[in-house]
Structures are given as C-alpha cells and as structure tokens.
Structure 1
Amino acid sequence: MYDKVIWPEQYDPKSSALYALNDIDVKAPPEVVWKLLVDAENWSSYFPPEDRVKILSGGSELALGARFSRVTVGFPMSLHVTEYEPFTRLAWETTVDGDETGSSAYHGWVITPTDDGCHVLTEETQQGPFFVEELGRRHPGALYRYHQDWVERLARAAEAEVAKPAA
C-alpha cells in the first residue's frame, strides 16, 4: 500500500470539483526522482510543456514556502510550496493569475521506495469556476492525461539518469 497526498481540508477530493490520481513505478531511487521534481525551472528538460517555470522566492530548487510561477497550457499561475519532505513528499497550492473567481488547486507528489526503485504518485484537486469551465467542461480528462504524460516522462528521465555511466 502506498501513501497518498495529505490534503488540506479545503482541497479534499471528496469536496473538489476535479480530481486526478496518476502513479507509476520507477526503476530509480527516490533521490533521483526528487532531484528532478524540485528542479522546477528545468522541468522542461524531460517534460516540454513545463517550459515557463520560475522560482520567485530565491534559490534554484523548490523548498518549503517557496513561491514560483508557471504557465501551464497557456495560463499563467502562481504557486506556493506547502509541503516539503525530502525524497518523500512535495505539494503546492495554485491560483490562476488574473482569475477573479477564487479558483484554486492543490497538487501533491508522494515518492515511496520499492525493491527496485520507487513508486511515484501524484494527485491534484481543482475547484472553482475557472477550473470547472476550462478543465471540467472544455477539456474533460485533460488533467489526468497531462499528469499521466508527466509521470511517464519523469520516470523515463529518472531511469535515464541512473543508466548514465559514472564519470
């Protein structure tokens, strides 16, 4: 049994408009996957759609309390890291820049060691008129598909990192 995201009450999947869970087994240690996840400004090196990420609060990696921005499928967003447990848990809260409807999202990652690497699980909930209209009505299933592509590419990148010959 794998751990799941620890939800702040307002983002619980039972009371959120949209929810996606994606997971994958990775033949690489948690530390390798973690390094790829916290290096947000370089997500595009393995996941091209995330090519406009900027850490705003200083530092070159995500950390607890870090603020960062990204443009996802054409929408600028502001994010705040709310959970950070090295090699195990990472989560952030998201608002869409310019959205006056109060829509928000919560995205968490959980990395669990396995005998031959690790298991990566990501879950996200979204709520509010912006997300309901954009991802619920206009593009149903898009959140799940986007995250599935992300976890698959993350797994390939981590496994390729492990396969590199030692320098």
Structure 2
Amino acid sequence: MNTIHWPEGYVPGFSDNFVSNEMIIPNLSVAEVWPFLNQPLLWPEYYKNSADVRFYNNGGPELENNLRFYFSTFGFPVESQVVEYVPPAGNEPARVAWHGWSGEENSPERLDVHHAWLLEDLPGNRVRILTQETQNGEPAKALAVTRPNPMLNGHQAWLDGLVSAALSASQ
C-alpha cells in the first residue's frame, strides 16, 4: 500500500503532533469517494467540524494545485493552500494535501499543519482512505496530550462522514 509524501518540517515523529486515520471499505471506489473530498463546500454537509469554507482568487469549487482556501475546524480559523494534488487516474492513488495555518506567525497561538489524504483502489472491490496530519506550534503541543484525542476523533468523524456520503451517492 502507498504512503503519504511528507514535506520537510512535517515528518511524523519530528513534528509537535501527529494523527493517522484509515479505513478500507468494500464495494466503494476512489472514483466514488473523490468528489466528496475534492469539493470543500461539501465538507460541512457530512463533517460537522468543518464550516465557513471559502476560496481565494476566484478558485474552487474543486481543489487544485496551489489553490488557496479557508475553512474553520476544531475552533481554529484555517488558511490553507493545496501543496499536492493528484486526482484519480489509472491504478495510481489519488492524493491531496494542504498546508494550513492559524494565528500570527511567530506567535504562541500559531499553528501550522500538513493535512494529507491518500485514496487507492485495492483488489476485491475495496477502497483504502488514509488521512494523516502533522502539526507544529504551541496549540499542536497541547492537542498532542489532550485525551480523548480531538484530532484523532475528529478525523475519524470526517472519514466516517466521507464514506457515508460516498456510499449513499453510489446506491
């Protein structure tokens, strides 16, 4: 199975916080899941921890390389820029990742994240959805020791909602 591509400064184990969530679902394909992930305006419909989505520079409604967008999640206003974008094609996994940030640079409130998704079709009519995020900054350090882990649980809710939306649409 494939893995996430990590930029320098965001490699798991060398960042302030890391979470990983994964699901393998039968009777679903990357092509059926991708539209729900690729359109941030749909996120609040199936993931209650996402709101206020908007795009900059006449971008959207679909993600693309270098696209700047905004959304709020976990109580943070998150400015974001897509840094990896590989839509589904052939047998290669689909990938999307963004750098997100909140707070003034060099302030104690600053949070920087790399949130990545990997979707791949597996033998036996299954799809694998992997989402991982690394974070840096004081808020990330606090999130890393919070139990229950809000990032782990929040991203699981995102995965559950994504899968539910794709399954509902495929029937």
| Aligned 1:55-70 pairs, distance under 5 A | 55-57=55-57, 58-70=59-71
Q: Counterpart amino acid of 2:150?
A: A
Q: Decide whether aligned partners of structure 1 residues 127 and 162 sit closer, same or farther in structure 2, where only a CA change above 3 A counts.
A: same
CA distance in 1, matches of 2:62, 2:42: 9
Q: Does 1:6 pair with 2:12?
A: no
Please say if residues 103 and 111 of structure 2, whose CA atoms lie closer than 8 Å, have aligned partners that are also in contact.
no
| Aligned 1:74-89 pairs, distance under 5 A | 74-87=75-88, 88-89=94-95
Q: Unaligned 5+ residue runs, structure 2? A: 89-93
For residue 84 of structure 1, give the secondary structure of its aligned residue in structure 2: strand
Partner of 1:117: 126
Q: Unaligned 5+ residue runs, structure 1? A: none
User: Equivalent pairs: percent with the same residue?
Assistant: 29
The one-character-per-residue Cα deviations of 1:103-131 (angstroms, maximum 9, x if unpaired) are 31101000010232311000001111122
Greater helix share, structure number: 1
Partner of 2:22: 23
TM (normalized to structure 2)? 0.87
Partner of 1:128: 137
Deviation at 1:136, TM superposition (A): 2.6
Please say if residues 120 and 129 of structure 2, whose CA atoms lie closer than 8 Å, have aligned partners that are also in contact.
yes
Please say if residues 49 and 154 of structure 2, whose CA atoms lie closer than 8 Å, have aligned partners that are also in contact.
no
Q: Counterpart amino acid of 2:121?
A: P
For residue 10 of structure 1, give the secondary structure of its aligned residue in structure 2: coil
CA distance in 1, matches of 2:147, 2:79: 21
Partner of 2:39: 39
Size of the aligned set, in residue pairs, is 161
Please say if residues 80 and 92 of structure 1, whose CA atoms lie closer than 8 Å, have aligned partners that are also in contact.
yes
Spell out structure 1 runs of 4+ moving beyond 6 A.
Answer: none
For residue 157 of structure 1, give the secondary structure of its aligned residue in structure 2: helix
CA distance in 1, matches of 2:21, 2:145: 21
The one-character-per-residue Cα deviations of 1:20-60 (angstroms, maximum 9, x if unpaired) are 11011233211121111111012111112212211223131
TM (normalized to structure 1)? 0.89
For residue 3 of structure 1, give the secondary structure of its aligned residue in structure 2: coil
Partner of 2:169: 161
